[in-house]
Chain A
Amino acid sequence: MQENTDIPMIEVEDLTKYYGEYPAIENISFTVNRGEILGFLGPNAAGKTTTMRILTGFMPPTSGTARIAGYDVVDQSLEVRRHIGYLPETVPLYTEMGVIDYLDFMGRIRGMGKEWRQRRISEVIDICRLGDYRTSLIGKLSKGFRQRVGIAQAILHEPEVLIMDEPTIGIDPIQVVETRNLIKGFGGEHTVILSTHILPEVSMVCQRVIIIHEGQVVAVDRPDNLSERLRGTERLEVDIRGPSADVMTALRDLPGVQDVTRADRDDVGVYRIETTGSEDLREAISNLVLQRGWGLLRLQPIQMSLEEIFLRLTEPDSDRE
C-alpha cells in the first residue's frame, strides 16, 4: 500500500448530515490511527449509524469531509469501498444462499481473485467458526450464526478498515463474549470502528471511545480515563432488614453519602444511596449494618444509564479537555 503509516487511517472533519430539516449529526470530527479499535458509544438515534453510513460511502454528508486510508468518501468512493469491510446493524444477508456461496459472491464483487478468495473463505470460516455450516442456507441459521456470517463477509477481503454497527446486538451472552474477543483480535492488523450502546463493551474492546449524543461528540477519551471521570457518581442499592427510620438516619450520617431514598419490598427495606465522594462506601455500609445488628441482604452498585452518563459529561463543570 502506498499510504504513509503516519497519516491516520480515518479522518473525519466537521461531518454534518441533515435528514430534511433535522440534523442527524452535526460537526463531528475525529481521527482513528492505523490498528486502533475505536468505540462509538451513544444511545439509539445518536447518529452512530449515520456516521458509519457516510464512512462506508452509502450516503454522502451534507457538509464536511471524511477520508479513509487517504481517500475521500465522496470523491473517491470506489477506492474507499475497496478498503473497508462493513457489518451493518441488521446484518443483511441473502437468505436463500448457502454460506460458502454467499462468501464467494461477496469476494467476487470485491474483486478478489480465485486463489485469494478460496484461501480467505476457508480462513474466515475457521476464524468465525462456521465449519459445520459451510453449505447451510443462511436463512436457516440462527441469529448468532448469521452474525458470524456477517463478520466473515466483512473481514473476507482483508480490509484495512472494519466498520461494525452494533456487532453484539441481539445475540446470546456466550456469543457476545466470543464476538468481542474476535473483534479485539482484529485490532493491530485492522483499524476498527464499532458502535455500541453498552458502556462496558467499550472498555472491554476499545482503545479509545467517542461518545456521541444527539448528533454531537460529547467526549473522546480512553475508556479507563472515562471511567475515572465518571467515578464519584456511584450509586448503591442496599437491602437491609431493620427499623427503617434508624437505618435511614444511620445511612445518611455516613460520610460520603449524598442522599438516601427508600422503597419497601416485602418486609425488607430497599435503600438507594447516592454517593458524592470517589471512595467506595460498600465496606462502611456493611460494617454499619453489622454493628447495629441489622440484616444485610443485598449490596449492589448500580451502573449509571447512558443517558445519565451523557448528562454528566455535558455538565458545564465537568473537566472536559
Chain B
Amino acid sequence: MKNTITIAWKETRTYFASPMAYIIMAVYAALAAYYFVTSISGALPEATIRGYIIPSTFIFTLLSPIITMRLLAEEQKLGTLELLMTAPVRDFEIVMGKFLAAMASLLSILVPTVYLVIMLTWFATPDIGPILSGYLGLVLFGMATLSVGLLASSLSGNQIVAAVLAMGILLILTVLDLASTYAGGIFEVLVLQLSITTHLESFARGVIDTHDIVYYAIFTTFMLFLTVRSLESRRWR
C-alpha cells in the first residue's frame, strides 16, 4: 500500500509538471463547455448537465489513452522498469500506483467543469441528484477507460503505439452499442451490455444502478489484472 502511494505520488507530480496536464484539462473544459451550451440553447432547455456527460464518452476514449500512455511504456523505454521490478515492490503495487495517478489526472480534468454546474445553479434550479450521479458515472467510465489505457501502455515500449492501441480498443467498445442492433436476439442484449457507453446512460439520467457500478468495477479490475499479468510476463520471457 505504501509503495502504491509512493509510486502514485511520484507519477502525479511528474504529470502535473508537464504541459500535457494543462493541455488535456483545457481541451476537455472547452469541449464540455461547447456541448453544455448547445444542450441548453434549444427551444425548451432542461437544466441538466447531460449535455456534456454523454459526449464525454467519446472525449474520454481520446483523452484517457493520452493520460496513460507514458505510465508504463516510458518505464520500458528508459529501462527504469528493470530497477522498479528489482526493488522490493510487488507488480500489482506498481500497477495500482500508476492507476491511482491516472485517476488523479482524470479527476483534475473534471475540476474545471464544476464551473458549468455553478453557472447552471446560478441561472436555473437544476435537480442536484442527476448532476452528482452524472459525475459518478463519468468517474466510473473514466476508470474503465484508464484501465484499458494502462493495459495498452504495459504492452508496448512506445507511447504512441500504446495510445493508439488503447484508443482502438476503446472505440470498438464504444461502438458495440450501435453494433448490437445488428446482432439480434440474445446477442443484441449481450453485446449491448458489453459496451462501455451503455452503462453511462442511466447515470446521466440520474439513476444509480448497482449493476452499472458492478459492470465498471469488474471491467476495471479485469483490465488491471491483465496489466499485472502483462508486467509479470516480462519476468518470464
Chain A interface residues (CB < 8 Å from chain B): 19, 53, 56-60, 78-79, 81-82, 84, 86, 88, 90, 92-97, 105-106, 108-111, 153
**Segment of B78-86, B178-186, B196-204, B210-218 engaged in the interface with chain A:** B78-86
- B86–A82 CB distance below 8 A: no
Query: In the complex, are the beta carbons of A81 and B88 less than 8 A apart?
Result: yes
With an 8 A cutoff between CB atoms, is B90 at the interface?
yes
17 A-B pairs with CB atoms under 8 Å apart are A58-B82, A60-B236, A78-B90, A81-B88, A82-B88, A84-B86, A86-B82, A88-B79, A92-B80, A92-B81, A92-B82, A97-B10, A105-B6, A108-B2, A109-B7, A110-B87, A153-B83
Nearest chain A residue, comparing its CB with the CB of B236: A60
Let me know if A110 and B83 touch, CB within 8 A. no
Q: When the two chains form their complex, are residues B87 and A106 in contact, meaning their CB atoms are under 8 A apart? A: yes
Closest to A92 in B: B79
Q: Is B114 an interface residue (CB 8 A)?
A: no
Q: Indicate if the CB atoms of A109 and B3 lie closer than 8 Å.
A: yes
Please, which residue of chain A has its CB at the minimum distance from the CB of B3? A109
Expressed in whole angstroms, the minimum distance between the Cβ of A179 and any Cβ of chain B is 19
Contact B83 A108 (CB under 8 A): no
With A59-B237, A96-B14 in contact, do A109 and B78 touch (Cβ < 8 Å)? no
Contact call A58/B235, Cβ cutoff below 8 A = yes
CB distance from B1 to the nearest CB of A (A): 12
Could you tell me the distance between the alpha carbons of A56 and B2 in the complex, rounded to whole angstroms? 22
A94 and B78 form a contact (CB under 8 A):
yes
A97 neighbours in B (Cβ, 8 Å): 10, 14
CA distance A231 to B72 in the complex (A): 51
| Number of B positions contacting A (CB below 8 A) | 25
A78-B90, A90-B79, A109-B89 known; A59-B6 Cβ under 8 A: no
Say whether B78 contacts A92, CB under 8 Å. yes
Q: Does B43 sit within 8 A of A, measured CB to CB? A: no
A287 to chain B, nearest CB (A): 55
Complex interface: chain A residues within 8 A of B237 (CB): 19, 59
Question: Bound state CA distance, A79 and B80, in angstroms?
Answer: 20
Contact of A95 among B78, B89, B234, B236 (CB under 8 A): B78
Which residue on chain A has the smallest CB distance to residue B90?
A78
When chains A and B are docked, how far (Å) is the Cα of A110 from the Cα of B84? 10
Partner among A96, A109, A111 whose Cβ is within 8 Å of the Cβ of B84: A109
User: What's the minimum C-beta distance from A122 to chain B, rounded to whole angstroms?
Assistant: 20
Which residues of the partner chain B approach A84 to less than 8 Å between Cβ atoms? 86
Check B111 for interface membership: any CB of A closer than 8 A: no
At the interface, yes or no: B119 with Cβ under 8 Å from chain A?
no
Report B-chain residues with C-beta under 8 Å of the C-beta of A88.
79, 82-83
Tell whether B17 is near chain A: CB-to-CB under 8 Å.
yes
Expressed in whole angstroms, the minimum distance between the Cβ of A24 and any Cβ of chain B is: 12
Cβ–Cβ < 8 Å partners of A95 in chain B:
78
Tell whether, in the assembled complex, residue B85 and residue A58 are in contact, meaning their CB atoms are under 8 Å apart.
yes
Q: Is the CB of B80 within 8 A of A96?
A: no
Tell me whether B79 and A59 are in contact (CB under 8 A): no
**Chain B residues with CB below 8 A from A110, complex form:** 87-88
Partner of A86, one of B3, B86, B235: B86
Query: Which of A60, A109, A111, A153 is B235 in contact with, Cβ under 8 Å?
Result: A60
Given contacts A90-B79, A92-B79, A109-B6, 19 further A-B contacts (CB under 8 A): A58-B86, A59-B234, A78-B88, A86-B83, A88-B82, A92-B80, A92-B81, A92-B83, A94-B80, A95-B78, A97-B14, A105-B6, A105-B10, A106-B87, A109-B87, A109-B88, A110-B87, A111-B3, A111-B88
